[in-house]
Amino acid sequence: MPMKVTDHLALKLDQAAPESVNGCSNADVREALNHPGDFYTPSIEAQALSSGLQGHIVKLADWSTSRIYPHSTRDIWFYRPVGVDSAADMKIIVFNDGAAYLSRSGAVRATRVLDHLHHTQVLGNTIAAFINPGVPAAQHVPEVPIESYGPSQAQRSWEYDRLTADYGRFLVEEILPLAEATLDCRISAKASDRIVCGISSGGIAAFNAAWHFPGSFANVISHCGSFTNIWGGHNYPYLVRTTPRKPIKVFLQSGENDAQTLFGDWGLANKAMASALRYAGYSIRFEFGVGGHTLKHAGACFADALRWIGSTAD
């Protein structure tokens, strides 16, 4: 039985979390951002290929024409591999917190992995969009889930953590057409040809986009996903268990040294999410290691995640 609205309000669950309580705060995440047990390194596929085998990247700096998130600016990068069949429909991978995945000195080095998997014919005709969360105009900072959030954190959480269809609409109605126009290509209409990927709040945003738009995105890669009570994400295991199964394939990753803050325990939250997905009969792979709240373990298994998404195995 769901909680009554009057009870929800009486318990003040509609209010932002305090900045700190019981000597704890959202700053407790720092331990998981630099944990000594987070020893993972990028996969072998993240090594650079020769320049002639490297895909082309186009940057749209300070893009500001979103209708769904007006009064915000963001950087977006689009990747196109070498040797694509320009007449064919393109598959696409969308990366939330795009700069972190794009960085060629980072933990994932996604374009290098994509170059390698195209070169070895594991992937074909797959473009990518690397999208940063928006930066809000000073007079248009959205609501915050916790008192300590600044403007950029507020905007990122507003886009990524809420369980509305807004972010999925943003991808379907704005980013996919922008990718086609920028790269002069046609994106496949098949949901199975599309992946959404992200870390932390970007991880739950990836799942949320597919949950609301399973006809547009059938594949999710969530790294340390925030299935915690930032904007109600802890409700997803219940929703998964009690909703008719959707045609979504999900790769989850977390670790025993993942974050704990006022919002919840990320390791336990991802275990609960994985359990719910298995219970409901979803195609799921869950990698639970010893890492923290970083992309290190994600980078170590990123190529394998793409192989699994592309396979027929559960």
CA dihedral defined by 253, 114, 158, 229, rounded to 10 degrees?
Answer: 0
pLDDT in tens, 154-163: 999 999 999 9
What is the span of the domain harbouring residue 197?
31-310
Q: What is the CATH number of the domain that holds 186?
A: 3.40.50.1820
- How far is Cα 101 from Cα 95, in angstroms, rounded to an integer? 7
Tens of pLDDT, residue by residue, the chain (314 residues)? 578 899 888 888 888 888 889 998 888 898 899 898 899 999 999 999 999 999 999 999 999 999 999 999 999 999 999 988 888 999 999 999 999 999 999 999 999 999 999 999 999 999 999 999 999 999 999 999 988 899 999 999 999 999 999 999 999 999 999 999 999 999 999 999 999 999 999 999 999 999 999 999 999 999 999 999 999 999 999 999 999 999 999 999 999 999 999 999 999 999 999 999 999 999 999 999 999 999 999 999 999 999 999 986 44
Indicate whether 18 belongs to any domain: no
- How far is Cα 291 from Cα 33, in angstroms, rounded to an integer? 9
Indicate whether 294 belongs to any domain: yes
Nearest by Cα to 286 from 263, 265, 269: 269
- The model's pTM: 0.95
Total number of domains constituting the chain: 1
Between the alpha carbon of residue 161 and those of residues 118, 158, 298, the distances in Å are 32, 6, 20
Indicate whether 239 belongs to any domain: yes
Indicate whether 10 belongs to any domain: no
Q: Which helix (H) or strand (E) holds 75?
A: strand 72-80
Indicate whether 12 belongs to any domain: no
